[in-house]
Amino acid sequence: MHIKLVPGPADNQGYVSSLSNTVVEIFNPCTLRDRRRNVVQYVIHDHTISWDILYLKMEHIKLRYNDLVEDFSFSETTLEEVFLSFVLLQNCGRMPDVGGCC
């Protein structure tokens, strides 16, 4: 899942931390995969949740954080993402953390 943050308030770490805690709580099990400028990416580990439930839950989060969340999207893991994870693993010797390699 990708969440695009509104420029400005998104720079405030308190807002982003609160949003992150809410996302992880609602989509548990869920982990923060990456954060770049105004885009936050999560991996939702429960593959049994239907797409309509995913969107419904995220719409509620967007309403709650309407001054922070600009847009969101869901997608399955792409081959490019798998490849990049292996490259980062090979270069760093570990899986990538939030913010990139090493």
pLDDT above 80: residue 4: yes
Every domain of the chain and the residues it spans:
2-76
Strands of 6-97 (E only): list them.
30-36, 39-44, 69-73
Cβ atoms of residues 70 and 6 within 8 Å:
yes
pLDDT tens figures, 32-72:
888 888 888 898 888 888 989 999 999 999 999 988 899 99
Give the pTM. 0.69
Give the confidence band of 12 by pLDDT, cuts at 50, 70, 90.
Answer: low
Q: Phi/psi at 67 (nearest 5 deg)?
A: -85, -5
